[in-house]
Structure 1
Amino acid sequence: MTRQLHLNVNILNAGVFGGSWRYPGTDALASYGIEHYTAIAKKAEAAKLDAVFLADGPSLDPSIRHRTGNNLEPSTVLARVAAQTERIGLIGTLSSSYNDPVEIARRLGDLDYVSGGRFGWNVVTTAGPVAARNFGRTDEPDHGLRYRRAATVVEQVVAAWAGRTELRSPQGRPVVVQAGGSTDGKRLAARVGEVIFSADQDIEKARAFRNELRSGAAEFGRNPDEIVVLPGLSTVLGSTEAEAKRRRDLLDDLLPDAYARDRLAGQLGFSLDGLADDEPIPAALLRDPAETSGSQTFNRVVRDIIDRERPTLRQLLKKLSGGGGHRIIVGTPEQVADDIEQWFRFGAADGFNIMPDVLPSGFDDFADHLVPELRRRDLFRTEYDGTTLRDHLGIGLPAVRAVDRSSLVSAK
C-alpha cells in the first residue's frame, strides 16, 4: 500500500494565532462551550483525519488577560466528542508531573474502552512555575527530574493498561503521544512514544530529528516503523496567494502586543522590557536551550530563527504571531499542499499536527479545500480502513516494558 499522510487537528481554543479570537466573524467565547469542540471533531471525521487533539495545562494561564484559552479539561471534552462521533481518534493532554499514574490509567483506559479504541494520551511534563504554584510548590521541578518521572509514570500506566482483563478496548490500549525536542525529551520519545509531536522550521533538521527518534527507538528494541512523527503546522489559506497574505496580515494586526511579548519572554527565559523594537535581541541575553528549565523545544526553535534570520524584536514577534514557534504556511491549498508533500516525501514528517490559524473558519478551509488537494495527489485517505486510532496510524501494540512499581520519581 502507498504510504500516506497522517493528519490531526489541534483544537486550540479560537486558533493558534494570538489574535485569532478577534478575527472577524469569530465567536471569541466559543471555546467555553462544548459545541465548539464537537462541531470541529465531526468536521474532522468527515474529512477522515486521524484524530483531534486537545492541549492542556493544569493551571490558569496568565495570558487569559490577552486572549481566550483552553477552558475545558480534555478527557471531559473528549468523552462528549466520543459520544457524537464514530471513527475519529481522540488525543488528550494530561500531565505526568501532576497526576497519579493509577488515576491516569483508570481514567484514560476507561475512555479508550467506551470510545471503541480511539484514545491517545499526550504525555507532557508541564514546565513553568505557574502550574507548580497551583500544586503548592514554590517552583517547577528540574527538567531532568520531570522527564525521569514521566518515563516511570508512562511505563506504570502502560503496564496497568496491558494488565486489564476486563473493559479492554479493540486497540488493546491507548496510544502514547509525546512531544520533546530536548535531549531528555527525545530519549523519552524513543523509549515510550508512539506518536511524536515536534516543532521544526527547517526541513533538514526535521528529517534529522525523525531519523534520530527512529534510531533511538531501535536501540530500545522497538520497531522504528511504528514511530509516527507529526510536526506542528499552522495553515493560513486563501483562494489566491494575495488573499492568504491579507488574512495573515490581518491576524498580525489583531495580535495583542502584550500577549506576544509575554509568550516570547517565557520561551526565551528573560524579560523583553527595555529592548528596542527595531534592533535584534542582544546575543548576551540568549542562553543555551539546555540551560533553561522551561520548554527547551520552543527555546531551541526561537533561537534557531534568531541565529538564522537575525530579525529585529518586532520582526520576530510578527514571525511567531503569538503561535509559539510552530511553522506557519501561508498560501493557496495547492501551495500549502506542495509544502506538505515536500516534507512528507523528503522523510521529514509522517504527517502533521495541524494548527489552523482561526477556528473554526481556518479548519473549514483546510478540510474543504486542502484535504481534497492532498487526495488528488494520493497523499491522504478517502475512507477509514479501520475503527481504532491504531488502525488509522498503522501501528500495532509494542511490547510492555517491565516496571518497578516502587520507583515513581516525586515531582516535588
Structure 2
Amino acid sequence: MSEAGRKLNLNAFLYNTGHHEASWRLPEAQPEKNLDIRHFRKIAETAERGLLDSLFLADGYAGRMNKLEPFTMLSALAAATKHIGLIATVGTTYNEPFHVARKFASLDHISKGRAGWNIVTGAGPAALNFSRDEHPEHSERYANAEEFVEIVKQLWDSWEDDAFVNDKAAGIHIDPSKVHDINYTGQRHSVKGPLNIARPPQGYPVLVQAGSSDTGREFAARYAEVIFTAHQALGEAQSFYSDLKTRLLKYGRSPEQLKILPGISPILADNEAEARDIENELFELIDKKNAIQRLSERFGIDLTHHPLDQPLDIHEARTTDEVNGNKSRHQLVLDLVSRENLTLRQLINRLAGARGHFTFTGTPLQLADVIEHWFKNGAADGFNVMPQVYPSGLERFVDKVVPELQNRGLFRTAYEGATLRENLGLAYPANTRHQSGKGVQAI
C-alpha cells in the first residue's frame, strides 16, 4: 500500500479493570466482574463499534491471575461479535504443537476467520506447574518455539484447501489424497499428523509476537505478521521499527508483511487538568510497598529503605544478560531510569500505568496528535491500545479519538474485509501442500 493510502491498525489489549495496577480501586471499577463474560462482551462491542482490528488477551501459567482461559473466553466473544479479530496468547514452552494447532483452527472456524496467535515462550515461574524443576533458558525457549511454530503451520497445511468434496451423488465427502501426514521429527518434537480439523479459514490464524530482545526480533522477522512492542520514546520506537523492517529481507519478506504496534496506554478527559486529576488519583491508590518489593526483585537490590523522592542508583542492578525472562522489558526499565534519572516514586508511577509501555495523559486531540506523529515518522504501523481504566478508557478512545483519526484520513470508516487477515491487509498464505490458491473452505 502506498504511503498516501496507508491506514492505522489498532488493537485493544483486554486487561480486566484496566492497565493501571490501581485501576481496580477506583469507584467506577468492578473487579468482581473479572470472570464475567458479559463484562468483556461489552468491551468487545465497544471496540468493534470503534472499528478496531482486534482484541488481544494476554495469558500466563503461574501467579494469582484470576482470569479466564483465552480459547474459552475468545470463543464466547466470537459468538457476540462479527468483525473484530480475536488474538490469544499461548506459550510454546508448556504446550504441545498438536493441541495448539487444533485449538487455533477451531477458534478460526468458530469466528469465521478472525483468530490470531500471540506466540510467547513464557517469562514467568511456570515450570513447577508442569512437572519441571526449572524454567528453560531464554535461548532454549526460542529454539523450541521455532520448531513448535513450524510444526503448527505444517499441521494447518495438512488439509489442502479443497480437501472437502462433499459430492453426495458420488458418495465422496473428503478426498483422502488431499489430507496429509506431516511426519515431523525434530530435536524436541515428533508429530505424525494430520490435524483432525480442516485448514483454518485464514489459512493460518494471524501470527503475532511480542519479544523485543535480539532473539525475539529475529524470531519476529521470520514468523510474525504483527508484533506488539513497548517503547518509552519516539526515537526508541523508530530504531526498533527500522531494525525489524530491515530484518525481514533475509527471510524474503517485504515490510508490509509485518505490522508493528507499540503499546500506548492513555488516560483521557475533555481537558488536560481533568485527565491529570484521574492520573493523580491512580497514583495515590498504588500499593507502594508492593511496588518497591517488585522493583527490588527486578533489580536484585534492596530498595526497601530507599527514599521515595531520591534518584535511583542502579549501577549494581541485575543486567539483562542475567535475566531469564522478559529481557527486553528489563532493559527498557534500566534505560528509562538511566535516561531520565528517575526517583523511586517516579519509576513506581511510570511502571504502574502500563508495565513499561508508553503512557499518555491528556485530551483526545492531543493523543491523536501523538498517534499521527509516530505513525507518519517511522515508529509504528498502528498501536496496541491499553486503556489504564476499563471500560471508560476504551469508550473515550472509541468515541473521541477514533473519529479524530478518521477525520484526518488515518483510520478506516468501515471494516475492509471479513477476516482479521483482510482487515490488517495481510495476504492469505498459500498451502505448502499445494499451490492452486484458495479453495473450498467449508466443513
TM-score of the pair, normalised by structure 2: 0.85
Q: Which residue of 2 aligns with 1:332?
A: 363
Q: Which residue of 2 aligns with 1:136?
A: 131
Any conservation in 1 of the 2:20–2:353 contact (CA below 8 Å)? yes
Query: d(CA) in 1 for partners of 2:109 and 2:46?
Result: 23
Cα drift, residue 272 of structure 1? 3.1
Any conservation in 2 of the 1:263–1:322 contact (CA below 8 Å)? no
1:315-394 matched pairs, under 5 angstroms: 315-321=346-352, 323-394=354-425
Of the candidates 12, 15, 18, which is equivalent to residue 15 of structure 1? 18
**Correspondence 1:46 to 2:46:** no
* Residues 123-165 of structure 1 deviation map (CA, whole Å, 9 limit, x = unaligned): 1111132x12222333221111111111111111112112224
SS at match of 1:164: coil
Q: Which residue of 2 aligns with 1:82?
A: 78
- Residue 234 of structure 1 aligns to which amino acid in structure 2? S
Query: d(CA) in 1 for partners of 2:113 and 2:368?
Result: 30
1:154-165 matched pairs, under 5 angstroms: 154-165=149-160
Q: Which residue of 2 aligns with 1:249?
A: 280
Query: d(CA) in 1 for partners of 2:240 and 2:58?
Result: 22
Any conservation in 1 of the 2:60–2:124 contact (CA below 8 Å)? no
1:64-79 matched pairs, under 5 angstroms: 69=65, 71-79=67-75
Cα drift, residue 259 of structure 1? 3.8
**Correspondence 1:216 to 2:247:** yes
Cα distance 1:30–1:350, how it changes in 2: closer, same or farther (>3 A)? Answer: same
Of the candidates 196, 205, 229, which is equivalent to residue 198 of structure 1? 229
Any conservation in 1 of the 2:265–2:388 contact (CA below 8 Å)? yes
**Could you list the runs of 5+ residues in structure 2 that have no partner in the other structure?**
161-196, 434-443
Of the candidates 44, 54, 58, which is equivalent to residue 55 of structure 1? 58
SS at match of 1:3: coil
SS at match of 2:312: coil
SS at match of 1:283: coil
Query: d(CA) in 1 for partners of 2:117 and 2:244?
Result: 19
RMSD: 1.8
Cα drift, residue 60 of structure 1? 2.8
Query: d(CA) in 2 for partners of 1:262 and 1:102?
Result: 39
Any conservation in 2 of the 1:222–1:398 contact (CA below 8 Å)? no
Query: d(CA) in 2 for partners of 1:396 and 1:266?
Result: 44
Count of residues paired in the alignment: 394
Any conservation in 2 of the 1:143–1:293 contact (CA below 8 Å)? yes
SS at match of 1:36: helix
Query: d(CA) in 2 for partners of 1:214 and 1:112?
Result: 28
Query: d(CA) in 2 for partners of 1:400 and 1:95?
Result: 24
Cα distance 1:142–1:270, how it changes in 2: closer, same or farther (>3 A)? Answer: farther
Q: Which residue of 1 aligns with 2:102?
A: 106
Cα distance 1:266–1:378, how it changes in 2: closer, same or farther (>3 A)? Answer: farther
Any conservation in 1 of the 2:298–2:318 contact (CA below 8 Å)? no
Q: Which residue of 2 aligns with 1:117?
A: 113
Q: Which residue of 2 aligns with 1:66?
A: none
**Correspondence 1:236 to 2:267:** yes
Q: Which residue of 2 aligns with 1:145?
A: 140
**Correspondence 1:312 to 2:315:** no
Query: d(CA) in 1 for partners of 2:247 and 2:430?
Result: 16
Any conservation in 2 of the 1:267–1:298 contact (CA below 8 Å)? no
* Residues 337-361 of structure 1 deviation map (CA, whole Å, 9 limit, x = unaligned): 1001100000100000000011111
Query: d(CA) in 1 for partners of 2:398 and 2:340?
Result: 32
SS at match of 1:94: strand
* Residues 152-182 of structure 1 deviation map (CA, whole Å, 9 limit, x = unaligned): 1111111211222463333222011001111
SS at match of 1:29: helix
Query: d(CA) in 2 for partners of 1:218 and 1:70?
Result: 41
- Select the structure that is richer in helix: 1
Cα distance 1:267–1:121, how it changes in 2: closer, same or farther (>3 A)? Answer: farther
SS at match of 1:245: helix
SS at match of 1:321: helix
SS at match of 1:385: coil
Cα distance 1:396–1:271, how it changes in 2: closer, same or farther (>3 A)? Answer: farther
Cα drift, residue 101 of structure 1? 0.6
Any conservation in 1 of the 2:112–2:201 contact (CA below 8 Å)? yes
Q: Which residue of 2 aligns with 1:409?
A: none
Cα distance 1:120–1:269, how it changes in 2: closer, same or farther (>3 A)? Answer: farther
Query: d(CA) in 1 for partners of 2:426 and 2:218?
Result: 20
- Residue 80 of structure 1 aligns to which amino acid in structure 2? A
- Residue 60 of structure 2 aligns to which amino acid in structure 1? G
Query: d(CA) in 2 for partners of 1:270 and 1:143?
Result: 23
Structure of higher CA gyration radius: 2
**Could you list the runs of 5+ residues in structure 1 that have no partner in the other structure?**
62-68, 403-412
